[in-house]
């Protein structure tokens, strides 16, 4: 399994655990908020590179 796959499985596991331990809305806020905050902390050049890579993968 690739590193991305492991991270995705871990994220899903944490999300489900949060969902069961807290309310639905808190779990959704964490699941959506953490990646959004991580994206906003990137430099503008890193954001451009990330968008460029994402677009290339979509065109396959």
Say which residue, 21 or 54, is predicted with more confidence: 21
Cβ atoms of 50 and 42 within 8 Å: the answer is yes
Tens-digit pLDDT profile for residues 5-34: 888 888 888 878 877 888 878 878 877 888
Radius of gyration of the chain (CA): 14
Q: Within the chain, where are the H helices?
A: 3-21, 24-40, 44-58
| Phi/psi at 52 (5° precision) | -65, -45
Q: What is the value of pTM for the model shown?
A: 0.53
More confident residue, 58 or 54: 54
In the chain, where the domains are located: 3-58
Share of residues in the chain with pLDDT > 70 (%): 90
CA dist., res. 60 & res. 52, Å (int): 13
pLDDT in the model for residue 45 = 92
Contacts of 42 (CB under 8 A, 6+ apart): 50
């Amino acid at each position: 399994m690739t590193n991305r796959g492991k991270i995705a499985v871990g994220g899903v596991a944490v999300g489900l655990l949060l969902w069961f331990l807290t309310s639905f809305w808190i779990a959704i806020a964490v699941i959506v908020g953490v990646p959004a905050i991580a994206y906003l902390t990137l430099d503008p050049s890193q954001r451009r590179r990330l968008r460029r890579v994402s677009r290339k993968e979509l065109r396959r």
